[in-house]
Structure 1
Amino acid sequence: MEFDGEDLSHKALTDRLPQGETHVFRDCDLTETDFWGASLAGARFESCVLEETDFRKADLDGATFSGGGGMRIRFSDADLIDVSFANVDLSSAQFGGALLTDVSFTGCRMIGAALTASRGTGFTVASSNLTMANLGGCSLRGERIESVRFDDADLSGCDFTEATFSDCRLIGARLLLTKFAKADLRGADLGQPDDDRLRAFAGAIINQTQANAILAARGITVL
């Protein structure tokens, strides 16, 4: 079933969607639309307004989101297996309790998004802004993380073991019990981490310029 350019805002659609069909929403206004518990496997959302859209407990396996988006989208306790988000505004989106397996975020604005307490094998992220996001306990173990901003994000308990960072920023990120063993941080801007944050980088790989900057901030000059 296709919806093209429709105003579906503030509507409850869960019981109005035909079962067994792939649903396409194109250029629709889905502001505060209620998809709670809906079957949306394989659905496509193209350039839709998703302001405070409610996807809680929905089945979104295999769905694709491209363009559009909005503040405070709710994905809590939803199933998101093999879901793709490309160039979507996910600012302050809520993923708590969601099943995230083979989910990809590319070119997304995820300022203040909350992915803590999500389940599943995890997700990949690239060319995205996760400033002030909460990723507490998430695993990006062994992933290549490219062009991502984690400024002031809460990365407590995250597992970045053997991950590779390229053109990334970790300035001001909270790193309590974060794992960076064998992570390659040579492509990350670490800012000027204090001693507590430096301990989180134990076992990581950094370059000479980063090491010099860290020592210089402590009054040590390397010749």
Structure 2
Amino acid sequence: MNVTGEDLSHTLLADRLEPGATHVFRECDLTEADLGGAALGGARFESCVLDGADLRKADLDGAVFKGGGGMRIRFDDADLVDATFTDVDLSSARFGGALLTDVVFTGCRMIGASLTASRGTGFKVARSNLTLANLGGCSLRGEVVEGVRFDDADLSGCDFTGATFSDCRLRGAKLIRTVFADADLRGADLGEPDDARLRAFTGATINQAQAAAILAARGITVV
């Protein structure tokens, strides 16, 4: 099934898909389309409008999302193993219960997205905006996290053990029970260095400028 430029908004699509086929949607309007439970392994969504699209419990193993996107897309309980999202707007998207093993998010706008309660062994994220996102309990162990904004995000219970941060921001991020053991935070803006945040950074590596800022905030001058 290869569809280009069609208005499929508010449509029940699951019953229209061809069993066993690879589905390609290019520049389609899928606003509030119902794809819940659909078999979409290996499907491609290129520059599609996906505002409010329902992809709950869909099989999206190896699916490719490139460009497009929209607000409040539902991926709850979907199988997203090996899926890739490149330059996609995923603002306020919901991934609760989704299987995110080896998913890659690159250049995505994920403001207010919720990945808490997702499943799997972890995902990769680069050059993306996760301001106000909820990643509670997610694992990015050993990952290279590059160009990501976590400003005011909820990172409670996240595991960043051994992760390397490059050109990242953690300003205002909620860090309750967050683990940074053996993480390299030298390439991160840590935000205001209050005592609660410093406890979360236990076991991490920081640079001299970061250390000086932490001490300066406590009235200690480094010369």
| Structure 2 length-normalised TM | 0.99
C-alpha distance in structure 2 between counterparts of 1:143 and 1:176, whole Å: 20
C-alpha distance in structure 2 between counterparts of 1:186 and 1:62, whole Å: 33
| Letter of the 1:190 counterpart | L
| Pairs within 5 Å for 1:138-153 | 138-153=138-153
Identity of aligned residues (%): 78
Which deviates further from its counterpart, 72-81 or 192-201? Answer: 192-201
- Post-superposition, which runs of at least 4 consecutive aligned residues in structure 1 deviate over 6 A? none
Which deviates further from its counterpart, 189-198 or 132-141? Answer: 189-198
C-alpha distance in structure 2 between counterparts of 1:222 and 1:131, whole Å: 32
Aligned position for 1:193: 193
| Letter of the 1:157 counterpart | G
C-alpha distance in structure 1 between counterparts of 2:142 and 2:62, whole Å: 23
Aligned position for 1:12: 12
Deviations 1:140-190 (A, max 9, x none): 000000000000000000000000000000000000000000100000001
Deviations 1:17-36 (A, max 9, x none): 11000000000000000001
C-alpha distance in structure 1 between counterparts of 2:4 and 2:122, whole Å: 32
| Pairs within 5 Å for 1:20-31 | 20-31=20-31
Aligned position for 2:118: 118
Deviations 1:186-212 (A, max 9, x none): 000012221011100000000000000
Deviations 1:48-69 (A, max 9, x none): 0000000000000010000000
C-alpha distance in structure 1 between counterparts of 2:193 and 2:68, whole Å: 35
- Preserved CA contact (<8 Å) 2:31 2:50: yes
Instruction: Tell me by how many angstroms 1:122 deviates.
Output: 1.4
- Preserved CA contact (<8 Å) 2:125 2:148: yes
C-alpha distance in structure 2 between counterparts of 1:129 and 1:208, whole Å: 27
Unaligned runs of 5+ in 2: none
Aligned position for 2:214: 214
SS at match of 2:100: strand
SS at match of 1:15: helix
| Letter of the 1:34 counterpart | D
C-alpha distance in structure 1 between counterparts of 2:58 and 2:26, whole Å: 19
Unaligned runs of 5+ in 1: none
| Pairs within 5 Å for 1:1-223 | 1-223=1-223
C-alpha distance in structure 2 between counterparts of 1:62 and 1:217, whole Å: 47
| Letter of the 1:214 counterpart | I
Deviations 1:110-131 (A, max 9, x none): 0000000000111100000000
SS at match of 1:105: strand
C-alpha distance in structure 1 between counterparts of 2:209 and 2:89, whole Å: 34
SS at match of 1:129: coil
Question: Greater strand percent: which structure?
Answer: 1
SS at match of 1:168: strand
| Structure 1 length-normalised TM | 0.99
| Letter of the 1:209 counterpart | A
- Preserved CA contact (<8 Å) 2:72 2:93: yes
| Letter of the 2:86 counterpart | A
Report the number of matched residues: 223
- Preserved CA contact (<8 Å) 2:161 2:182: yes
